[in-house]
Structure 1
């Protein structure tokens, strides 16, 4: 592995930009290839657990510049409106991807990262070196390639990743709204066939993002019909949508969202963020996990550069161990909770238990969140 050839990161979302900032901070040459311009809205819950704040501080990222909301409470309701509340064990903050990705992009550029706006057509690994080919007939040679291109991409198809061949039954919808909503609260509301997260981001804007099963959505002509017929059957969501004004011309959508297990390493490409594994939005922790995964891999790459890790094989094995240690159980819990809440009788039973034993909900939250992410140094 010729690390002197630098590192190419494919994808410039949360995980990719964070890895670029980290690796450039420790003096490595980084090229990041991203197909979109900044800033850009993305389908996302836009709540970040405070577990990654110490790491952001180490990266010299002062998120307070974006005026995020400080979130400390959770409300959760079933489809019929039964509600429970609790304090979030670590709390978090709300900030839009529109603002945050642009902020991280600027920091990466300041750190000396080369950021290329282009589409990646192919990634070839030969003789222990990667060559990345783009749509604009450019090629980049590097010792390490990091995959950070999101939930689903044509790259996944070319790599013949297993999850791509399986039909995914999930659709995600997101928009920003003007509506009265507490600054310190994140709402998670169940409806038939899905879940909806509600929380405030910067500038007094409320982000509403929901995940719906294709089976429940396909009966309706469009998003508006689905929301009016299904989503607002939850009385809490009904009140929110009836008193809100959408700030987007149309909602953003993503189809074929897959929560199946993904291989962490494909053809020696090291995956981070949603490219490596996606936690159910009902756990509210995807953004923090994406940032944390960038930290884990970046620290291991530094050890490889310092020859503490002696080979590519040991780097890959170390990353697999670290990922499983930090995320495997959390992802499993997310899949389990999603399965339970999709079953009406099971979700009602779970709600009754949590109402009777209110301390149970914070325990469940802890199972899908991590500890404070501190630096080794």
Structure 2
């Protein structure tokens, strides 16, 4: 039976916490501007001493300023800070600036002695992932009932018949609470529904269709003619596929545009900051995030995902973040960008999805 690791709350009665000063703030010099020596947030639980009381940060996110509003600390993107707001300053991590970063909030004891020199401590195509898979399936079963699961998908997911069917099955069986992708994933998934192709190649036999390079453009044009993705799915009676399953199950999807997009489909968000805001609404509730074969969207989601989440009963729990890609470079990139709690799996994402769907009994 899967159980969440216990959160070890800090004891603020200890002398170090008692002796620490309250945070210092400085007014923002202008809209979207931060004062000198501003404090920037991390992915970990962070506490700020305000009027001699330690307060947990609200709306956590990495690389944000901390603004004190009504006596409470909030993580605020620099672009959202307004002139005159009280911004926390000071960059020390020894309590001397009234800030405590709880790095070991969910640390579990390890078995055996720690050995500083050892082989196979990283993640590569040679790593064993059996335990990672089993843990992930346990987490998904738990969070289907007690959390919020966000998937971040690249178009490769729609280029294979069984992978597409597997992702659809996960949506249909409640393992997806929100989906992030770009114009390409939605386009090629809908293309597969119309023509059984991805960029003109049969998603099962890999046969190349004559004039198949028109299929995605034809798909975009038809969806634009329908007025919206939702109306297109209904009008065409599309019974299978990732996007149609989202529409059927009322699972929200955020499609963030890029400079290379064809079309794009209606509903694709062209302004990157509007797309960021739309993604953030779901990430603020996420307890598990799984990113498949999309480096830029993965980093975008990772940069706004904290390592923890507050439950309805006020307890803190970890946020599980998985990134899956056949490229070792791609899965390592997120860790390098500050998402230190990410769990990376190096494998073909299509095989990963099929195994996950079978293990969870959705296909």
Give the number of the structure whose alpha-carbon radius of gyration is greater. Answer: 2
Greater share of residues in helix? 1
Same fold per superposition (TM over 0.5): no
Greater relative contact order (Cα < 8 A, sep 6+): 1
TM-score by length of 1: 0.27
